[in-house]
Amino acid sequence: MTTISAMTFLSRVTGLVRETLKAVLFGAGAQVDAFEAAFRLPNLLRRLFAEGAFSQAFVPVLAEYQRQRGLEATQQLVSKTSGLLMLALLAVSVIGVVAAPWLVYMLAGGFAKTPGKVELTAAMIRIVFPYIFFVSLVSLAGAVLNVYRRFAIPAVTPVLLNLSMIGAAIFLSPYFDPPVLALAWGVALGGFTQLALQLYPLFKLGMLARPNLDFKDEGVRRILKMMGPAILGVSAAQISILINTQLAAWLGDGRISWITYADRLMEFPSALLGVALGTVLLPSLARHHSDADPQRYSELLDWGLRLALLLALPAALALCLLAAPLISTLYQYGRFSIQDVWQTRAALLGYSIGLPALILIKILAPGFYARQDMKTPVRIAIGSIVVTQIVAISLMFRIGHAGLTLATSIGAFCNASLLFYMLRKKGAYAPRSGWWVFLGKIAAALVVFGVTLYFLAGGVELWLYATLWQKVTRLLVVMAGGGAVYFAALWGLGFRLRDFNRREEETTG
C-alpha cells in the first residue's frame, strides 16, 4: 500500500505540474475546451476497455488461474485475452480516426456556436484516439503485474503521460498553430511510452506471451460473459460524463476547462487514496474469495473502509476550505485569470462534497468484482447515473457549471450508499465493532483540522494578489500545519499507526 501510494503520489504531482503549465500557456478558453473534449473520449474508452469492464472481469479470473491452475494456464489466459483486446482496440482506434468530425457533435454539440472549434476538436481527436490502443494494453499489463503483487510499475506509468505532455507543451507548442495541438501529440507519445515501460516487468514474470485469438477458450469466454453486465454499468457512467460534457459545452466557452481543472485537483486525493486502495484490494479480495475465506475477506474490506474515511474526510474538507488558495497557487499565472480562479473554485466546491463517496466506491465495488458479481454494482451504477443526470439538468439552470459537479457528488453518495447496503445484505461484509467510536473520534479531529485551516489560510485576497513564492510558501505552511494538527488530534484520541498496518501474504503458485 505504501509503495503504490508513493508512486501514485508521484504521478499526481507530475499531473498537477502538467495542469499548471497548461493553465499558464493556454488558459481556460475555447482551445483548451477543444483539447479536453478531444481527450475525453479516449479516456472514457480507456475506462471501458481497460480500467472499467475489462479489468473488473479479467482480474478475478486471472487471480483464480494464478492461484489454482499454475503458470502455463495463466500464460495462456494472458495470451488469448491480449489477442482479443488488441483486435477490439485496433478496430475502435480506426473508427475513431475516421469518424472524428461526427464525434465532435456527440461530445460537445455546443462547440458549433464558436467558429473553428469543431474543426480544431476533430483534428485533435485524430491525434489522440490511438492513445486508447496503447493505454488499454498498459492496463492489461498492469492487471497482470498487480495480481502478482508488482504494484510499483503500474502505479508509476501515468508519470510518463504527464512528462510527455509537459515536454510537448514546452518544446513543441511553438511549432504548432494553434499551439494547443502540441498537447494532443504529447498524449499520443505518452500512450506509447507507458506500454514500453510495462514490457520488461512482464517478461521477467514470464507473462510477455504472444497474443493469440481463441474465442472458444473457457477463461476468455468467462471474461467476456462477466464483461457483459460490467460494460452496461461502465457505459452508463461514461454516458453520464458525455452528457455533462454536452451540457457544459452549451453553457459557453470555458466551462469544460473550469470543470476539468477542478477535476484534476479532486483526482489527486481520489487517486492517491481510492485508486491505490482499490488496486491493492481487488486481487487480495479475489484471492480470499478463491480460498473460501469469508472472514479475512470481510476484515480486509473493513480495514479499507476505515483507512479510506480516515484520510478522505480531511482531504474533502481541505479541498472545500482551500479551494481558492489551491487554484490560485497552481493555476493563476499567464493566461489563467482571476475570473478563471473563481469559476474553477465553484466547480471544485461541488466536487469536494462528494470526494469521500467517490473514494468509498473504489473500495466497495471491488467487494463485488472479487466475488465475480458484476450485475449488482452495474444496477447500482445505472440507478446512480439516472439520479446524477436529473440533478445535473435541474442545477445547471440555477448555478451553472457548478451544478454539474455537485450533481456528480450527489450521484456518488447514492452509489456508495447502495454498494454498502448490498454488501451487507448479501452477507459479504460484516462491520467489525467500534465503528461509532471510530467515526466520533474522526469528527472531533476534523473540527480541530477545519478551524486550523481556516485561520492559517486567511482571506482569499491574500492569495489572488500574492507572488508565486508567497503563495507556495503560505500553502505549504497551511497544509503542513493542518496535517500536523489533524494527526496530532488523532493520536491524542488514541489512534496509532500500527492499528492500520496490514500486510497481505505474498502470492505463490
> Above 90 in pLDDT, residue 151?
no
Is the pTM here over 0.75, yes or no? no
Burial class (CB in 10 A: 0-12, 13-18, 19+), 105: middle
Q: What is the model's pLDDT at position 509?
A: 39
Read off the pLDDT of each residue in 278-303 and give the average, rounded to a whole number: 75
Read off the pLDDT of each residue in 259-270 and give the average, rounded to a whole number: 85
Read off the pLDDT of each residue in 253-263 and give the average, rounded to a whole number: 87
Give the model's confidence band at 122: pLDDT under 50 very low, under 70 low, under 90 confident, else very high: very high
In angstroms, rounded to a whole number, what is the distance separating the alpha carbons of residues 289 and 298? Answer: 10
> Above 50 in pLDDT, residue 50?
yes
Q: What is the model's pLDDT at position 498?
A: 67
Q: What is the model's pLDDT at position 507?
A: 41
Read off the pLDDT of each residue in 265-270 and give the average, rounded to a whole number: 83
Among the residue ranges 41-45, 254-258, 325-329, 450-454, the one predicted with the least confidence is 41-45
Residue 248, number of CB atoms within 10 A of its CB: 28
Read off the pLDDT of each residue in 156-179 and give the average, rounded to a whole number: 92
- By percentage, how much of the chain surpasses pLDDT 90? 33
Q: What is the model's pLDDT at position 6?
A: 72
Chain centre distance of CA 106? 23
Read off the pLDDT of each residue in 97-108 and give the average, rounded to a whole number: 86
In angstroms, rounded to a whole number, what is the distance separating the alpha carbons of residues 392 and 279? Answer: 30
Among the residue ranges 4-8, 58-62, 488-492, the one predicted with the least confidence is 4-8
> Above 90 in pLDDT, residue 169?
yes
Residues present in the chain in total? 509
- 114: three-class secondary structure by DSSP: coil
Which residues fall within 8 angstroms of residue 218, CB to CB, at 6 or more apart?
Answer: none
Higher per-residue pLDDT: 336 or 151: 336
In angstroms, rounded to a whole number, what is the distance separating the alpha carbons of residues 314 and 322? Answer: 12
- Average predicted confidence (pLDDT) for the chain: 85
- Distances 80 to 84, 85, 93, 135, 504 between C-alpha atoms, Å: 6, 9, 20, 18, 29
In angstroms, rounded to a whole number, what is the distance separating the alpha carbons of residues 224 and 18? Answer: 36
> Above 50 in pLDDT, residue 508?
no
Read off the pLDDT of each residue in 468-478 and give the average, rounded to a whole number: 93
In angstroms, rounded to a whole number, what is the distance separating the alpha carbons of residues 341 and 32? Answer: 15
| Most confident by average pLDDT, 56-70, 152-166, 184-198 | 184-198
Cis bond before residue 115 (omega within 30° of 0): no
Q: What is the model's pLDDT at position 160?
A: 92
In angstroms, rounded to a whole number, what is the distance separating the alpha carbons of residues 84 and 197? Answer: 22
Read off the pLDDT of each residue in 254-270 and give the average, rounded to a whole number: 86
Give the model's confidence band at 214: pLDDT under 50 very low, under 70 low, under 90 confident, else very high: confident
Chain centre distance of CA 122? 25
H-run or E-run covering 313: helix 294-321
In angstroms, rounded to a whole number, what is the distance separating the alpha carbons of residues 341 and 291? Answer: 52
Grid cell for residue 228 = 457483459
37 residue type, one letter: A
Which residue has cell 476538436? 121
Q: What is the model's pLDDT at position 506?
A: 44
In angstroms, rounded to a whole number, what is the distance separating the alpha carbons of residues 248 and 255? Answer: 6
pLDDT in tens, 484-505: 999 999 999 988 766 666 555 4
Which residues fall within 8 angstroms of residue 330, CB to CB, at 6 or more apart?
Answer: 16, 19, 20, 23, 265
Q: What is the model's pLDDT at position 237?
A: 58
> Above 80 in pLDDT, residue 181?
yes
Percent helix, strand and coil across the chain, each to the nearest 5: 85, 0, 15
In angstroms, rounded to a whole number, what is the distance separating the alpha carbons of residues 299 and 427? Answer: 13
Residue 481, number of CB atoms within 10 A of its CB: 16
In angstroms, rounded to a whole number, what is the distance separating the alpha carbons of residues 38 and 117? Answer: 11
Among the residue ranges 19-28, 363-372, 413-422, the one predicted with the least confidence is 363-372
DSSP structure string for 477-489: HHHHHHHHHHHHH
Q: What is the model's pLDDT at position 500?
A: 63
Among the residue ranges 139-153, 379-393, 427-441, 471-485, the one predicted with the least confidence is 139-153
What angle do helix axes 131-147 and 71-98 make, rounded to 10 degrees?
A: 160
328 residue type, one letter: S
Give the model's confidence band at 144: pLDDT under 50 very low, under 70 low, under 90 confident, else very high: confident
Read off the pLDDT of each residue in 68-74 and give the average, rounded to a whole number: 84
